[in-house]
Chain A
Amino acid sequence: MAERSFAKEVRKLKLGEGDTFTGEGILALTKALLEAGVGYVGGYQGAPISHLMDVLADAEEILTELGVRYEANASEAAAAAMLAASVHYPIRGAVTFKGPVGVNVASDALANLSSSGVTGGALVIIGEDYGEGSSIMQERSHAFAMKSQMWLLDPRPNLPSIVKSVHQGFELSEASNTPVMLMVRIRSCHVTGSFAAKDNKRPPFTVRDALANPRSDYARVVLPPMSYLQEHDKINNRWPAALTYIREHKLNEVFGPSEAPVGIVLQGGMYNGVIRALQRLGLADIHGDTEIPLYVLNVTYPLVPDEFFAFCEGKSAVLVVEEGQPEFIEQSLGLALYKAGSSIALHGKDMLPMAGEYTGQVMLDGLEAFLKKAAPELLPARLRAPNSDHKPALPDLSRTVPMRPPGFCTGCPERPIFAAIKLTEMERGRHQIAGDIGCHLFATLPPFEIGGSTMGYGLGPASNAAFDGGGDKRSISILGDGGFWHNGLSSSIGNAVYNKSDGVIVIVDNFYSAATGGQDILSSRADNASKATGHPIADAVKGVGVKWVRQLDRTYDVPKMREILNEALTTDHVGPKVIIASSECMLNKQRREKPLMAKAIKEGRRVEKPRFGVDEDICTGDHACIRLSGCPSLSLKKLDDPLRDDPVASIDQSCVGCGNCGEVADAAVLCPSFYRADVVHNPGWAERKFGALRHRIITWLQTRRSSGRLEFVRT
């Protein structure tokens, strides 16, 4: 069960001819796949296309009705490999994952797929995670398209364009026997808008039909000598076929006047940003009608040279707007112009920055700089004069406003694991610790600062391999359950067993692929109607030969976690020491339990609800507890007490009573100011009576003491 449910939204997938679809980009993509008669879909979750996987999962019933197979693949490599079904069979297939990390993982399958070539349209929908809010290294998927020769679509970021490019992508793929990557940037995945819906189409040839009529052709197999032939086929047949299709079906678009001194060449995804900059420069209207001609590359690979030359004709300069680096498009266009002996001025990364997101200001500055140089007469007078803007001086807030990176959620079960590791390090000194991909990577940030690297999904323990031989202190590596099943079991655990690693491996098992939005995985505890869950990580680990395995079923037990860590760091066992720390992701747990609890209370059943608090008189404001927590619900407040210099700890009503505060106060011998209050809703008769009696006696004792001494009521 994923964090966000699309159960309501997927009804929109049933819209037909004459209806207008209004909604989010990813949902539009799914609808477009169904309208295009896709035969099978799959993928692996990750921002920004996690929700696309969630939509597919929630739409499984609709998919099945149409005869479409949906697979939640084990990794991007598995997803890309699934496209093999389109090699021999005339079935359209689509998979989705994030770029470029997903493409990295999938590259083996993608390269083989590209070499074989396809019969049915094969579409890889890449959620490009570049710019603000991205969680990964900043690279481009473009390079993969070039090296494996897959076509790359980068449609304008509005729903009709995205939907159209799905249809065009399949057709282009089939026309050129080449797989196609369709790139959607992070914001276009979540952009809202409308498009005219069409009827869904059953795949004319289904995967079941294929099973009934198997085919194979060794010419498609990547093995000498066929692989040499495939390489020539790419250049001699598939490439020209693609150019013809792109040209004839007008996949790229030209906007603006047919004659102008300058023009702009841009990736489709940059269109809205370029138009906004032109609007601000007074060179485009609200509908995007522009005074500067635009050549919009909805296909960024391959480029169509004759289209480009036609666009350049009569112009003295063109600007290439291409986000990210290296500037593959600008380089290709420059080479083409040079070989054609053209004298047109080519601008690009000299006007716009080489690295980083092309935000509104960057785009405005870049276009203004280009026009100032190439065609200043087009700019309004106010922009030609230097420094016409007068901005008020603002106080510098850079030292005031704190950074706010993502962190563990309220009540996260991973927090106590890292509190235990921090306490262990306080006792035994610092260790070499390697992180992995997942929520647990937030432990590298304050207040924990545990782990100094992340090498890839499921590769945490593998990235400590150089230290497998052991030394004065053992290395520790972290691996999440998502990473474990993605790649970790073989690349990390198997690797450690085989090499007799001396290291300690902590597997953080929170029952979901949590960082990507709580999708189920093999070891999930929840029942899933269409997937097999409930396969324990411990069994898998033992299965590949790990002998020293410790399973902790309540990560909030900090003393126990410390004890296990200490044992792992000191045992004379040879081979990897694997600790599996399991507790359910709190975000998902709350989402599951909160409504049930509310219902139970309403129905009059007995329910206990825990919450923590801090006695402000006892807290001295040293914040040691926060340095072992960082929980959003554990914050500070300033008391109206002139004797207090420092703010005291305080827990707000968002506390879910996970227990970390009490455990840490206990394990670290912090202070006695925490308390836990369990509210018992609908207590039984005896409980009520006893409670009342106890309350009376306690109150009597309290009154007795306070009547004998001075007490001050705080005002």
Chain B
Amino acid sequence: MASMTHSAFTPKPQDPALDQIIKLAIMAVGGQGGGVLTNWVEDCARSNGYAVQATSVAGVAQRTGATIYYMEMAPLRDRAPVFSLLPAAGDVDILVAAEMMEAGRAIMRGFVTPDRTTLIASSHRALAVSEKMVPGDGIADSQEVIAAAEIAARRFIAFDMEKMAIDAGSMISASLFGALAGSGALPFDRSSFEAAIKASGRGVEASLRAFAAGFEAAANGTVETPRSGRIKTVAGAPSGPKPLVDRWNALAARATALPDPVRDMALTGLRAVVDFQDLDYGRDYLDRVEKVLAEDDPAKGHELTLEAAKYIAKAMAYDDVFRVADLKTRGSRFARVRGEIAPAKGAQMKLTEFMHPRAEEVVGMMPARLGRRLSASERAMRLIDRLVNKGRRLRTDRLLPFAQLYVLGGLRKYRRGTLRHAIETQHLEDWLAQALAYRRIDYALGVETLRNRRLVKGYSDTHARGLSKFDRVMDGVALLAGRDDAAHWCRLLREAALADEKGEQLEGALKTVRSFASQAETALPN
């Protein structure tokens, strides 16, 4: 037995040197360069005369999963300090989170405490698969993490370090390193941080730019929280021939005359439907909105009309072949793609679109009567399918494929006569009539019925699934109309329908609705 024994037990005060140990944890998503960041911090601390120990958990955690790097450091002495290999709850001085939900995870694990922890977090989001795959909106709320961080951390610094790094042409590890330096949480001067970057030798210039941006923002103690809610788009004046603009102004004036809470939404909706078809279509839209308004209750803040203005616009501006072709060939779209891809100067850009038409789309473009006859015949549909149903890749930077789509987009003039339009209009009218019928017995249910339109989205199978979910929710609602909690249940059904692809949650919710609807049937007066 090797022995390093000393004299018998004598109680002594806690070693003050322990307070000099700086404990730093980095919570990151695999692939964010946490290893590089760890090396930089290590080099920087060593060059400042510190003893450092770093550890990480490599392996599958790095394949896009959550991962953690941990380091401890203390001023170098004659004997080596004993450092821990893993962070402990309540015992972390600096927590660097390379993404907002990872900051949340750190808080949940107790690594952020008000007595000691400086929390440096990038406020951007890297969405987890579970957030992205939900058919509705499954994105976790950063505000909840921020609220928790403000309580949990001794100091909280947060801003979008990902964007900062991209703008500098670098990786987030560099802007995080800058933020760490700028926070002053480590007792080292700026030049020694920068020296660590320079010594690493790759992409130094860009890294230093991102570092500087992170440094400045953190030194200013920035807490830049993500925007809550959405910015209201202001209806800008349209461009186009004067007579059309004049007519637009008249329509816009009609929308502006709507009650205050509805006005902005109606203008947005109006713009969408005019953009979809033409000014007459815009007039139809306002007719419909005003019809709802006539049945609305100002005491309820015009909620019914507000939702109608939103969802009628969505229902009228449905997604058909003409629409897709029109959008794909617009100059503004080409400009947006160019902005997004940002090809280097002198570089060219090829553009490929992925289309997969089926017989349904082709028949939908036909005059209603012909289309209806064809879609009734299984044989005809099979034949058309055989002719058109395959993946088509169109190079819209080339003349011929562009012209194909351009012509298709131009055919929107004839849209009103098509089968698809007839179907969409019928669906719209039925839904609107139903909503107004419900409104007469239960205002809130009328509003919720309008909102159910959210379920109809997507193309082909996804669209069909959306329609079927919409129908099933509406069937469920029919069982409930007249009950006090009908609107509440309508909302629950809709949320269940948006929670998963196959509608399993919706099925469960419907089962509940059916069970209590049948129980209460006899008890209901009407």
Contacts and interface: CB of A to CB of B under 8 A. Distances in A.
B136 A676 contact: no
Interface string A180-215: 000000111011110000000000000000000000
A635 B135 CA distance: 13
B256 interface: no
B58 A51 contact: yes
B415 interface: no
A453 interface: no
Interface string A54-67: 00000000000000
Contacts of B113: 391
A630 B341 contact: no
A705 B410 contact: yes
Contacts of A709: 240-241, 244, 278
B58 A694 contact: no
Given A133-B57, A252-B1, A360-B84, A400 B145 contact: yes
Nearest to B451: A645
B53 A193 contact: yes
B222 interface: no
B334 A677 contact: no
B233 A714 contact: yes
B288 to A, nearest CB: 15
Given A675-B351, A710-B245, A404 B65 contact: yes
Interface in B1-56: 1-9, 11-15, 17-18, 20-21, 29-31, 42, 52-56
A510 B5 CA distance: 56
Nearest to A375: B9
Contact of B85 (A133, A247, A272, A638): A272
Interface stretch (B376-384, B390-398, B479-487, B517-525): B390-398
A662 interface: yes
30 contacts: A188-B55, A190-B54, A190-B55, A256-B5, A257-B5, A258-B8, A272-B82, A276-B84, A282-B13, A291-B9, A291-B12, A360-B88, A394-B151, A403-B130, A439-B63, A515-B63, A608-B350, A624-B135, A630-B129, A646-B498, A666-B356, A677-B349, A677-B352, A702-B329, A702-B334, A707-B241, A708-B240, A710-B275, A711-B332, A715-B234
Contact of A613 (B102, B126, B337): B337
Contacts of A276: 82-84, 88
Nearest to B458: A622
A391 B18 CA distance: 22
Interface in B118-141: 126-137, 139-141
B257 interface: no
A177 to B, nearest CB: 24
Contact of A672 (B314, B324, B350, B406): B324
Contact of B2 (A193, A254, A397, A665): A254
B17 A409 contact: no
Interface stretch (A222-230, A571-579, A681-689): A681-689
B241 A307 contact: no
Given A394-B152, A617-B333, A712 B271 contact: yes
B353 interface: yes
Contact of B347 (A133, A192, A683, A712): A683
A48 B56 CA distance: 10
A275 interface: yes
Contacts of B42: 192
Interface in A348-373: 359-361, 363-364
B223 interface: no
Contacts of B206: none
Interface in A454-468: none
A240 interface: no
Contact of B58 (A47, A288, A408, A674): A47
Interface string B64-96: 111110000010010111111111111100000
Contact of A254 (B1, B59, B108, B240): B1
B132 A636 contact: yes
A689 B50 CA distance: 61
B466 interface: yes
A613 B332 CA distance: 15
A413 interface: no
Nearest to A680: B348
Interface size class of A (residues with CB under 8 A): 35 or more
Interface stretch (A104-112, A143-151, A441-449): A441-449
Contacts of A93: none
A672 B5 contact: no
B104 A192 contact: no
Contacts of A129: 59
Interface string B131-162: 11111110111001101100110000000000
Contacts of A623: 132-135
Contacts of A630: 129, 132-133
A17 interface: no
A272 B83 contact: yes
Contacts of B31: 409-410, 632
Contact of B458 (A256, A624, A647, A702): A624
A643 B17 contact: no
A272 B241 contact: no
B240 A47 contact: no
Contact of B459 (A192, A632, A670, A713): A670
A662 B64 contact: no
A414 B39 CA distance: 32
B380 to A, nearest CB: 20
B387 to A, nearest CB: 16
Contact of A669 (B2, B231, B236, B356): B356
B89 A395 contact: no
A700 to B, nearest CB: 10
B212 interface: no
B381 to A, nearest CB: 15
Nearest to B319: A620
A392 interface: yes
Given A403-B130, A405-B65, A397 B145 contact: yes
A559 interface: yes
A703 interface: yes
B331 interface: yes
A271 to B, nearest CB: 8
Interface string B344-363: 10111111111110100000
B269 interface: yes
Q: Which has the most chain A C-beta neighbours within 10 Å: B20, B82, B91, B399?
A: B82
A593 interface: no
B9 to A, nearest CB: 5
Contacts of B343: 677, 679
Interface string A532-563: 00000000000000000000000000010000
B457 interface: yes
Contacts of A530: none
A50 B128 CA distance: 27
Interface string B223-245: 00000001111111011110011
B402 interface: yes
A359 B91 CA distance: 12
Contacts of A713: 236, 238-239, 332
B328 interface: yes
B490 interface: no
B504 to A, nearest CB: 13
Contact of B17 (A250, A256, A285): A285
B349 to A, nearest CB: 5
B348 A687 contact: yes
A331 interface: no
A615 interface: yes
Given A250-B2, A623-B133, A706-B330, A679 B349 contact: yes
B61 interface: yes
B59 A678 contact: no
A396 B459 CA distance: 38
Contacts of A707: 240-241
B420 interface: no
A310 B74 CA distance: 35
Interface in A235-288: 247, 250, 252-261, 271-273, 275-276, 279-280, 282, 284-288
